[in-house]
Structures are given as C-alpha cells and as structure tokens.
Amino acid sequence: MAGPVSTQRFEKLVLPHMNSAFNVARWLTHNDQDAQDVVQEAYLRAFRFFGGFRGDDARAWLLSIVRNTFYTWYQQNRGPASDTLEFEEDMPGLETGSEGHDGSPEALLIRSQSQKRVRKALQGLRLEYREVVVLRELEELSYKEIATIVGIPMGTVMSRLGRGRQQLAALLAPTDEEA
C-alpha cells in the first residue's frame, strides 16, 4: 500500500505527464472517451506499481503503461465497431499557433485543411507505425525512450519510424485532383 511519501513522489513524478499520456492514448484509440478510459486505467496501474519504479524517466515509464493498457483495452474491445476509424477535428498534438503565419481567413482555412489532412493521414497509418510516429514527432521522445516504451530494439524503432514517415508522405502526396 502506498504511503504519503510515495503518493507525493507519484504526484511529483508522474502526474505532470497526464497530457502526454492522453495524447498518446487519443492517437491510439481514435476518440476522447476511450482515451480517457485508457489513461485512467493506466494511472491506476502506475500508482499500484509505483513502488517498483526505479528509473529516472517517469514519462517514458508512464507512456509504456499507457501503451500496454491500450493494447489490453484493444483486445477486449476489438470488434466490428472498433475497426472503423473515428476522426475528430480536435485531436491533440497538431495545434499550431499563429506566430509567423498570415492571419487572413484564406491562410487560416489553408492551415486548417492541412492539419485535417495530416490528422487523417496519421489515422491511416498502421498502428505499429502510428505509435512510433506519434511518440517521436508529437511527443518528441528519443529513439531510446520509444524503444523502452514500445519494448522493441532501437533499430526496429528507426525502421518503423522510417516506414511510417514514408507512408505518411505517400498519404499526404497531392492527388491528381489537388495538383
């Protein structure tokens, strides 16, 4: 059972990473409610096993738990309804400020359309590629941290990231109608 000291340590080391946990869960689950459920369960697991945490990277440790919790959730909830992708416009991780951008309605529309295309393309990636792209490009984790989180060798991280980026580029390539 966790005492007050470990509770304070947990709050100090793990709670600040809730936004990252939600962002990763959101990209994996495709919707806010499921992401909230995954993050809640992940935080319960993290708290339960926090006594065994000996590392110095609480964020990577937590995101590993979020990822594992997602896969448990996915196995339990996979079915015809879960195979369809839900696309919401307010997905985290692709927000851009207006610094250095033209604030005209045309520029805002173009930027909004570009963000929608990137979100949709990310959603179109296979899960194994999407997770490493999100962890690297949106969460800005190192290859080593991603390898730890995903539980694969660093070379596999680089390979999946390369393939994911290639697929993303292909999905974002202009079509004949857009050219």
Owning domain of residue 76: 1-83
**Which pLDDT belongs to residue 122?**
87
In a domain, 140, yes or no: yes
Q: Where residue 132 sits, what CATH number does that domain have?
A: 1.10.10.10
**In the listed set 51, 83, 115, which residue is the last one of a domain according to the structure?**
83
User: 85-116 burial, b for 16+ CB within 10 Å, e for fewer?
Assistant: eeeeeebbbeeeeeeeeeeeeeeeeeeeeeee
- DSSP type of residue 145: H
Give me 58's structure tokens.
């609480």
Structural domain count of the chain: 2
Domain-located, residue 90: no
Q: Is residue 96 part of a domain?
A: no
How do the pLDDT tens digits run along the chain, 179 residues long?
445 557 888 999 999 999 999 999 999 998 899 999 999 999 999 999 998 888 889 999 999 999 999 999 998 887 544 443 343 344 444 444 444 446 666 666 666 667 788 888 888 899 999 999 999 988 999 999 999 999 999 999 999 999 999 998 888 887 656 55
Query: Does 108 share its domain with 76?
Result: no
pLDDT at residue number 108? 62
By the 8 A CB rule, do 23 and 93 touch?
yes
What single-letter amino acid sits at 132? V
Q: How far apart are CA 91 and CA 140, in angstroms?
A: 17
Nearest Cα to Cα of residue 141 among 53, 27, 60: 60
Residue 3: the pLDDT is: 53
pTM of the model: 0.71
Q: What is the pLDDT of residue 52?
A: 86
